[in-house]
A and B are shown apart, each in its own frame.
Chain A
Amino acid sequence: MNFTLVNCEARHPAAKPGDAAALRGVSLAVAPGEQVAIIGPSGAGKTTLLHVLACAIKPSLGELKFGEINPWAIARPALQRLRAHLFLAVQVPPLPPRQRVVTAVLAGCLPAQSLLQSVRSLFYPTQMELARAALARFDLEDKLFERVDHLSGGERQRVGLARGVVSNAQLFLVDEPLSALDPTRAAQAIHSLIEVAGERGATLIASLHQVDIALQNFPRVVGLRDGVVAFDLPAAQISPAMIQALYAHKLHELTEPIAAPSDAAPAQGLPAVMHCR
């Protein structure tokens, strides 16, 4: 799925009324099947940008278009049908603790199912094979019938990604998919995501804290800083100096792993209070 974002201004989903905009005049055009990584220090607006692209928040200024369709100009049922083609994987996986993994994964199929089908699948999972295959991509096959609250944080994050795999989305928007994973799992997860997107020709936009993973795996990398696009280039053209400039005053984020999502909270003088959730 292709989209264009023109001169967009938007506020973080958790922003309070008085807070400044998290995105200020961001423009971005992505062709169908493209794979783009978004990097930048915490508080740069990565989460807000993904929420805008997922039609989860309405930009206060500027325009978003999927092909010729402006999602905020169409009727609400049509918007809800459009949302079925977008998949937003948020940083903290949105899984009810008492749900079984198989149900949590198959929740990705909901937009394609009728209510009756989805309720029936609640009593006896109708697409177990699909869920198992999706989990296998993230090395979690054996957890198929576990309960979500018996999983570790990293496992939950990968279950959240597996939910995206079973959906028939045309645009994957993945927010910090690797924040709770160790380096080996992180590499495996990002390869699986890229593979899935490639197989079905879907567009993949991922925000990443790991600059090296972004540069190695994504043909196109967007650098975001203080709610503004700092650069938007093929990965090969990005120099270490540009990365240094992007993370100026926040160089520790380049070297230190981000411990927990909540640690990425705001430093002084940022455009918006970011809770990174």
Chain B
Amino acid sequence: MSANVHRVNTVTAPALRDPAWMKRVTIAAIALVLLWPTLVLTEFKPWELFSPGTLKPTLKFIGDFFPPKLDAVFLEMVLRETWRTVAIATAGIALALVAAIPLAIISTRVLSISALSGRMATLPAIVRQGARIVLILLRSVPELIWALVFVRVVGLGPTAGVLAIALTYSGMLGKVYGEILESGDAHATTSLLRNGASRLQAYFYGLQPQNAAELVSYTVYRWECAIRSSAVLGFVGAGGLGQQMDTSMKMFNGSEVSTMLIVFMLLVWLADAASAWLRRNLE
């Protein structure tokens, strides 16, 4: 009996098929078709890494990494350049704040008096949108491009790095400051405005204390990013550790490069730890 039922089932029921199968095959095929031209276009040939012609110089360069160069004069130079990298980042952020804070305050809709009752008036709306557009424009050019420009204008050295970071980061900080100020609870700020305070007074007594922790936390995080990016800016001649690393790379001096890589890793780790500690201790 039971054998009978079993037979009937196998005969009449159609074979089970995964309904998602065709869709998956199609998506995979489309992805491959789209990916292939990009691989051709970028001349992606990983096997060339292992061809005898390239393998030998690569191995020799990497072999030079050991031992890292550790003599006192060189180490002193590396530490000085590392400190310069931190200084470029810090000075750049400080300059960026000079532009970012006023632009963020101007762009904040929460500080509008006309928007307290109904729609924001036309002129303030245009000014706020204008400040927003300036921030977006500042942000949209990467600091590497600015560094290339400033190296032409002010010459090789840290000044170019500071200016490049200041310009890009003012856009970044200003835009995110504006978003933080608008996303927080606006109750404290609007009540101050409603009781007759001016916009800046409402900012200092309502908006800023309301969002202080987030603002500081984001600034510290950006400072950490700026340290990493100021090291990269050195490669285009904007001073600091990157510039020294670039020189050593061009001279195929593996031991110097490896020392600087180690110092760079330590620096990034330290900046990361410092910013994490600062943010944790913000109460």
| Interface residues in chain A, defined as those with a beta carbon under 8 Å from any beta carbon in chain B | 54-58, 76, 80-88, 90, 92, 94-99, 103, 107-108, 110-111, 113, 115, 118-119, 122, 167, 169
Q: How far is the CB of A65 from chain B (nearest CB, A)?
A: 17
Known pairs A55-B117, A56-B117, A96-B206; A86 contacts B201 (CB<8 A): no
> What sequence of 0s and 1s flags, for each residue 188-215 of chain B, a beta carbon within 8 Å of any chain A beta carbon?
1011101111101110111001101100
CB-nearest residue of chain A to B198: A115
**Minimum CB–CB distance for A107 against chain B, Å:** 4
Assuming the contacts A115-B198, A115-B200, asked whether A58 and B117 have C-beta atoms less than 8 A apart, the reply is yes
Contacts A84-B195, A85-B196, A110-B196; is A98 near B212 (CB within 8 Å)? yes
| Chain A hits for B116, CB < 8 A | 56
Q: Which of B113, B195, B210, B213 contacts A111 (CB 8 A)?
A: B195
Whether B140 sits at the interface, judged by CB under 8 Å, is no
A110 near B197: Cβ-Cβ < 8 Å: yes
Given A57-B117, A103-B205, A110-B205, A83–B188 Cβ distance below 8 Å? no
Q: A147: nearest residue on chain B (CB-CB)?
A: B283
Interface residue from A58, A96, A108, A113 paired with B118 (Cβ < 8 Å): A58
Would A83 and B206 count as touching, CB distance under 8 A? no
Q: Is B187 at the interface (CB under 8 A from chain A)?
A: yes
Q: Which residue on A lies nearest to B194, using beta carbons?
A: A56
Q: Which chain A positions have C-beta within 8 A of B195? A: 83-84, 86-88, 108, 110-111, 167, 169
Q: Report the separation of the CA atoms of residues A95 and B205 in the bound assembly, to the nearest whole angstrom.
A: 9
Instruction: From known contacts A80-B196, A84-B196, A111-B195, infer whether A96 and B210 are also in contact, taking CB-CB under 8 Å.
Output: yes
Bound Cα distance from A234 to B121, whole angstroms: 43
In whole angstroms, how far apart are the Cα atoms of A131 and B3 in the complex?
A: 92
Complex: chain B residue closest to A90, CB-CB: B191
B114 contacts A by Cβ under 8 Å: yes
* In the complex, residue of chain B having the shortest beta-carbon distance to the beta carbon of A110: B197
CA distance A39 to B210 in the complex (A): 33
CB neighbours (8 Å) of A85 from chain B are: 196
Q: What's the Cα separation between A82 and B121 when bound, in Å?
A: 19
Q: Is the CB of A83 within 8 A of B196?
A: yes
In the assembled complex, the CB of B213 is this many whole angstroms from the nearest CB of chain A, namely 7
Interface string of B118-136 (1 = CB under 8 A from A): 1001000000000000000
Residue in contact with A81 in the complex, picked from B117, B196, B210, CB distance below 8 Å: B196
Give 21 A-B contacts (CB < 8 Å), ordered by A residue.
A55-B194, A76-B114, A81-B196, A83-B194, A83-B196, A84-B196, A85-B196, A94-B192, A94-B206, A97-B210, A98-B210, A98-B283, A99-B205, A107-B192, A107-B205, A110-B195, A111-B195, A113-B201, A118-B205, A122-B204, A169-B195
Tally A-B pairs: CB < 8 A: 81
* Nearest 8 Cβ contacts at the A-B interface: A84-B196, A111-B196, A96-B209, A94-B191, A83-B196, A110-B197, A96-B210, A99-B209
Question: Shortest CB–CB separation between residue A116 and chain B, in angstroms?
Answer: 10
Q: Let me know if B187 and A94 touch, CB within 8 A.
A: yes
Residue on B with the closest CB to A94? B191
A80 to B205, CA, bound (A): 17
Residues of B with C-beta under 8 A to A88: 191, 194-195
A80 to B112, CA, bound (A): 12
6 new A-B pairs (CB below 8 Å) besides A90-B191, A95-B188, A110-B197? A56-B194, A98-B210, A99-B209, A111-B197, A118-B201, A122-B205
User: Which B residues lie within 8 Å of A113 (CB)?
Assistant: 201
| Cβ-closest chain B residue relative to A51 | B194
A129 to chain B, nearest CB (A): 19
Select A92's contact among B113, B187, B194, beta carbons within 8 Å.
Answer: B187
A104–B104 Cα gap in the complex (Å)? Answer: 24
- A98 in contact with B213 (CB, 8 Å): yes
Closest to B117 in A: A58
Contact partners of A111 in chain B: CB under 8 A = 195-197
List of A residues within 8 angstroms of B191 by Cβ:
88, 90, 94
* A169: chain B residues within 8 A (beta carbon): 195
In the assembled complex, which residues on chain A have CB atoms less than 8 Å from the CB atom of B200?
A: 115
- Assess whether B196 is in contact with A118, with CB atoms less than 8 Å apart: no
Q: A57–B194 Cα gap in the complex (Å)?
A: 10
B197 partner residues in chain A, CB cutoff 8 A: 107, 110-111
- B117: chain A residues at CB < 8 Å are 55-58
The interface residues of chain A lying within 8 Å CB-to-CB of B206 are: 94, 96, 107
User: Among the interface residues A96, A118, A122, A167, which one has the most CB atoms of the partner chain B within 10 A?
Assistant: A96
Complex contact B201–A110 (CB within 8 A): yes
Q: Which residue of A lies closest to B211 (CB)?
A: A96
- Taking a contact as CB atoms under 8 Å apart, the answer to whether B201 and A98 are in contact is no
- A56→B194 CA distance, assembly (Å): 6
State A108–B117 Cα separation when bound (angstroms): 21
Complex-state Cα separation, A100 to B109, whole angstroms: 26
Which residues on the A side are within 8 Å of B196 (C-beta)? 80-86, 110-111
Distance in Å: Cβ of A57 to nearest Cβ of chain B: 6
